[in-house]
Structure formats: C-alpha cells, structure tokens
Amino acid sequence: MGASLYPAARSFAARLEDHFARHAASGPRGPASAPSPDAGAIEAMVDAGFWASLQREEGYAPEISLAFLPPERASRPLMFAAALPLGPRALARLAPAVERPGIHLGVWRERGELVVWGTTRAIPPLCFVLEVLGAGLMVVKHRPNEDSTKFQNVAVFEGEHVKVLSPQSVDVADHPLLLKSLIEPQAPASPDDPVDVLLRIAVSMRAHKRGGTLLMVPAASDAWRESIVQPIAYAVVPPFTELADLVRDPAADGASRKEGALGRVVDAVAGLTAVDGATLLTDHYELLAFGVKIGRPDGRPRVERVELSEPIEGGTPAVVNPLQLGGTRHISAAQFAQDQPDSVALVASQDGRFTIFAWSRRDGLVHAHRVETLLL
C-alpha cells in the first residue's frame, strides 16, 4: 500500500484500530464475527473514501458505505466476477449503485492488496464501516451488538478536522432519561424503543436542512404554556397521537407497520419543525402544536449563560453566552429550557449543527449539548 495522501487517514488509523480491537476483545467471538481492522486497512479505506468524496459522477457527489469484511462472512453477498481496486475512481463509479441506505461495498485483501469484492446488505456486529456522506465528510461506525439494528458512530472525518466520539465524557447525570440515552446511545434492542424514536426524530429534523426547534414537554403538566406566546397559530386539537400509539404498541398497526409506518410518522412530525416557530411534543410523543413562538414569562431572568459540551474526545465543557451558539432559534430554546426545567429543547441548524438544551438543577444553568456527530 502506498502512502496515503490524506494526512488524517494515517494520523487516526492506529487509534481506530485500537478502538475496534478493544471492543472485539470485550465480547464473544465466533466464526461469523467481523474481523478487527488493522491500521493499514483503515488508513487505505479512509484515504480512498476521502478522495472518492471529491469526485463527481454525472454531476453527483458519491455517497458510499465501505465494510471491511471477507465475502464468506457476509450474508448473501453480491460478488463481482473480478474484484475492483480500492481506489477513488472505482468507488465513485460504483456510488450510484450503492447509495441507498443499507448497501455496503465489501473490502478485503486479495494477494496482499485491498480490493472491493462486491456488495452486502447484512454485516456482523463490530464490522468496520466507513460511510462517505459528502465532500470530505466521512463517518466510521459499527453495529454494537447482534440485536442492534442501528450503528454507533466512532469518528467523524470532515476535511482536516477529525472528531473521535466519546459520549461517556458528557455529564448528563441530572437530565431526563430520554435525553441521557440520546447522548449516550445504548443500542436499544427494539427499533420501537422510545429512545430510538427520539433519535429518529433528531435525524429527520436535521435531514430537512431548513432548521427547526422541537420542544419536548411533560405530558402531565401544562407549565410550558407560560413560555408560549398566545394565540398558538397551529394548535393540534385533539393532540395527534399516531406516533404515541406506535411507540406504545408498534404491532397495533398491523401490516402498515411493516411498511414503515413509524418512519413515515416520524418524518411527518419532524417535517413540522421546518415551519417557522417551534413544534410541541409531549414526552409521550403526542403532538400538541407547531409554529409556536417562545416567550420569556414575566419576571423571569433572561438566560445569560449556558454550558456547552460535545461528546468527543478532548471536548471540554465551556460556559458561554447563548449568543455564541447561534441566532434567535438557539437563544429562545435556551430561554425555554431555563424557564421550563422539566422540558428539553432540540434545535437543528441549517448548517447541520444539532443542539439539545436542558436545565441542570445541580449546576443551576442550562446545558447545551452539540450532538450532530451522533446523528450522521
């Protein structure tokens, strides 16, 4: 393998090798287990992925997922008659065929060289996966265990900047359980787990790229009303409960559930956040309103400080003025979290940033958690 031309590939390859080796050593291993990637393979895959991300195929930027896996350990693989070299041009040409979610290009060594042997839709836990999402933007991830249907992000490469995730470094000890589990993903056993639903909403909010705010309020209290400007332009009466019903009993919808009812409803609710104003959802997932305006109740102090943190290695929390986080959307969300300590506010920015605001009773100020690295 020649020296990589993307410096970050070499700089972080050994750290990623160690991550996968440690996780492999801590769990059961069998003949179908994913092989742990070596630093050389990681460096080559990240380097090829980076340069492929800068290519254009018929005007489109490649979106590719690479899995370090021999074909014999893949489930029902689609194998090429002749393996292709692991190179930017070959990856860019294949991108249109594998851009749909869940399709991975298999990468393994033949005669000492890394090649692309075909595609697979099913990969074992802890399989090294590199997703190319845009120009210079890549995510290293893996499935944490056999029961998990989702992936856990390990590192994000964005040009010369690399973030290695460390969710356990963020202090969420006095936050609501749903928020703790969103920031510290524990790989829910079921795709209908309420925590996974909140994660899906966050991903969908970010995907529409218009920016938006979601206020999650206690179902058992109307205290949030004092922080909402009246009248509410788009109140939902009675509350829309389809999402709540699916979370409570995902089998109740019968065949339509199998066709992705949960995903469609999540996208519908998240889509409302694109409307100017905030969307109101209870912690039981009942939709109350959208397009609402947040106001500061009479006599309440203006929010002046928030503690900003990000779940990455080396990320040190810093107390900042809310103005440093963004515009009106972020400031009003921070104010809401301060005035409504039992609620949380999720804010998606048009530039892809995603911030969760929650009150910390222990610290006596709002915590702002930047979590877009968990949502890629």
Whether 32 has a pLDDT exceeding 70, the answer reads no
pLDDT at residue 3, rounded to an integer: 65
On whether the CB atoms of residues 47 and 196 are closer than 8 A, the answer is no
Kindly report the average pLDDT of the chain as a whole number.
89
Which residue type, as a one-letter code, is found at position 289?
A
For the chain, give the percent of residues with pLDDT over 70: 89
Q: Which residue has the higher pLDDT, 273 or 3?
A: 273
Task: Read off the amino acid at residue 316.
Answer: T
Rounded CA-CA distance 49/139 in Å is 10
Helical H runs in 259-339?
Answer: 261-272, 328-339
Is 0.95 topped by the overall pTM? no
Q: The tokens 């218009």 sit on which residue? A: 210
234-261 average pLDDT score: 77
What would the CATH number be for the domain defined by 169-375? 3.40.1700.10
Tell me, what's the pLDDT at 191?
A: 47
- For the chain, the domains span 7-164, 169-375
> Which residue has tokens 């630093």?
39
Q: What is the pLDDT of residue 174?
A: 72
Mean pLDDT lowest for which of 25-39, 58-72, 252-266?
252-266
pLDDT at 190 over 80: no
Q: How many Cβ atoms sit within 10 Å of the Cβ of residue 323?
A: 11
∠ CA(229), CA(356), CA(264), 5° rounding?
Answer: 85
- Residue 246 and residue 253 in contact, taking contact as beta carbons nearer than 8 Å: yes
Q: What is the pLDDT of residue 239?
A: 97
| Least reliable range by pLDDT among 83-87, 98-102, 194-198 | 194-198
Beta-bridge partner residues of 157:
138, 162
